[in-house]
Each structure stands twice: as structure tokens, then as C-alpha cells.
Amino acid sequence: MSKVITIDSANPSPVGLAQAAEALAGGALVLCPTETLYGIAADVDNPAAIERLAGLKGRGEAKPFGLIIPHLSALDQLVREVPPSAQALMERHWPGPLTLVLLAQPGLHPRLVSDPGKVGLRLSPHPVAGALARALGRAITATSANPAGAPAPARVEDIDPAIAAGVDIILDAGPCAGGPASTVVDCTSDPPEVLRPGAVKLASDPADPAPAKN
């Protein structure tokens, strides 16, 4: 049975975060709130946890997991370069619900990397999600807490029972803001390409955002 830790969304307890981070380091899956919806965190350095997450969500290999980074300095371990276009978006929208796709460093788990060698990541402004990554000391997965193709939940009460039972810890911080998931922008092209419209509105968005199913 999953352990439920009630946590303040604005001022999360360091004790609760430390428990969750220790569990992540040991291979656990942690369900936590983000700036938009609830997500499932796994340690990016734990291949078994990432594979377990993929099985829980029913996620195919063709759709990699995005990441939440603990701080900007973590980019050096995850991406090969940060082009000026990406730097400008970071300065304007990070921390925020904007996922930037960049060229991945060699050695990342295949389920984190799309073909041809790209990884999506963001710096979360949510006090719990961001602090959880910082407590772990490295990036965590940022996939929404739903089976593949199903609506993503903004409240713990709305989480699919199989998902809730399949994680080890649930950080219950009450309802998230909801709305669309993060905007996804591929910064490996020039100009950058919006792959998924979302919470951050950009001039190049091709259409209005749809409900998240990731």
C-alpha cells in the first residue's frame, strides 16, 4: 500500500521531502504535485525505477519521459548544449510550466531520450516538485499521474486507483492549479518549434492547448 504524506503545497515540510527523496534514491516512485497537475517522480539515475514507471503508465518506448531539474547547473549533466534561443526562453519563463527539448548527453536512460537524442526538461516553480528534485540532488521524471491516454489529475482523489496503488509514496498537497500541461518547445531547431501548446503561451503556438494525456 502506498504511503500518504500530507504536505503543505506552499511551505512543504523538509522532513516529508527528505523521506520522499530518500525513497526515490532507493528506487521508489513518488506521486507529487506540480504547477499544473499531479505527476509521478522517479530518479533519473535509477533504470529499474524508470522501467517500473513505464510499466505502471503503460507507456510505449516511443514517448520519452520529461524531466524536472533541481537547478540550472544540472543541465550540464543532462544536455550537450543550451542554444541562445533556449537560454532566452529559460530567462523569461523558468521556473515555469515550459518544457524545453534539447540535445541529450550520452548515457541517459533510453526512456528519457527521444530519437534522435533529445531530452525534455523544465525547472518547476511548484514548491513541492522543485524542492523534491533539490532534495534528491538530481532530476526527477515529470510525467503526469495517469495511465497513458487518460486524463491527467489535478487532485489526489481523481488519480486512477491502479496508479495510486502502484507508487510507493503519495505527497498529498491538495488540489493543483489544473489546466493544460506544460508547453513543450523543441530548441534543437532554429527557430524553436512548439511541439505541444500548453500552460505557457508563446507566439509560435500552432493551436490552443488540449487537455493533458501524457
Please indicate, yes or no, if residue 204 is contained in any of the structural domains: no
Per-residue pLDDT at 202:
87
Residue 115: pLDDT over 90: no
The answer to whether position 103 is within a domain reads yes
Asked, for residue 155, whether it belongs to a domain, the answer is: yes
Query: Which pLDDT belongs to residue 208?
Result: 43
Identify the residue with better confidence: 133 or 205. 133
Report yes or no on 206 lying in a domain: no
In a domain, 100, yes or no: yes
Which residue do the cell numbers 536512460 mark?
A: 109
- The domain containing residue 63 runs over which residues? 3-196
Q: What is the enclosing helix (H) or strand (E) of 185?
A: strand 183-186
Q: What are the pLDDT digits (tens) for 126-135? A: 999 999 999 9
Residue 73 lies in a domain: yes
Q: What is the CATH number of the domain that holds 152?
A: 3.90.870.10
How much is the pLDDT for 206? 52
The per-residue pLDDT for 61 is: 76
- Quote the number of domains for the chain: 1
Per-residue pLDDT, 67: 98
Q: Is 212 within the bounds of a domain? A: no
Separation of alpha carbons 59 and 65, rounded Å: 9
CA distances in angstroms from 9 to 20, 113, 178, listed in the order given: 15, 30, 14
Confidence of residue 105 (pLDDT cuts 50, 70, 90): very high
Exposed, middle or buried, 94 (CB in 10 Å: 0-12/13-18/19+)?
Answer: middle
Mean pLDDT of 130-150: 95
Cell numbers representing residue 88 in the block? 532566452
Rounded-to-integer distance, Cα 132 and Cα 121, Å: 15
Where are the extended beta strands (E) located within 14-142? 30-33, 38-41, 67-68, 98-103, 118-122, 140-141
DSSP 65: P
Angle among Cα 154, 159, 160 to the nearest 5 degrees reads 145
pTM: 0.92
95: cis peptide before it, omega within 30°? Answer: yes
Residue 44 domain flag: yes
